[in-house]
């Protein structure tokens, strides 16, 4: 099972075990993490699961789709080159140890 570390805006770190095939968002919601709201439940209809992929992992998580770029335009916090919708990052064994940073707010 991949392990995933969330770094909140204040620097607090939470590490959760994830199921292969689940998204980063699903892992956060199942783990009760407050920093991911996920209003649309992962259907890429909002930007309340916005996260910043750690620089060390950005190459391994893939690139944003055009639809993801469009949805990130409605993100509350700054969109950076490492911004992703956490519902669009599917966990694989190769992403074991993934680190994502959470923005200050989602809504």
pLDDT tens column, 9-52: 999 999 999 999 999 999 999 999 999 999 999 999 999 999 99
Rounded to the nearest 10°, the torsion over CA 96, 55, 9, 27 is: -30
At residue 107, the pLDDT reads 85
At residue 68, the pLDDT reads 97
pTM of this prediction?
A: 0.95
Can you give the residue ranges of every domain in the chain? Answer: 3-101
3-101 maps to which CATH number?
Answer: 3.10.20.30
Cα–Cα distance list, 39 to 5, 47, 49 (Å):
21, 8, 8
Angle 49-78-51 (CA atoms, 0-180°, nearest 5)?
30
In this predicted structure, the answer to whether residue 1 has a pLDDT above a threshold of 90 is no
Residue with tokens 């940073």: 101
Give me the chain's average pLDDT, please.
Answer: 96
């Amino acid at each position: 099972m991949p392990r995933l570390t969330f770094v909140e805006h204040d620097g607090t770190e939470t590490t959760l075990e994830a199921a292969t095939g689940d998204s980063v968002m699903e892992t956060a919601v199942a783990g009760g993490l407050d920093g991911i709201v996920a209003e649309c439940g992962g259907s890429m209809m909002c930007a309340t699961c916005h996260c910043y992929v750690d620089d060390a992992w950005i190459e391994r998580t893939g690139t944003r789709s055009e639809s993801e770029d469009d949805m990130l335009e409605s993100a509350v916090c700054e969109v950076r080159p490492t911004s992703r919708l956490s519902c669009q990052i599917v966990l694989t064994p190769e992403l074991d140890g993934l680190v994502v940073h959470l923005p200050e707010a989602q809504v």
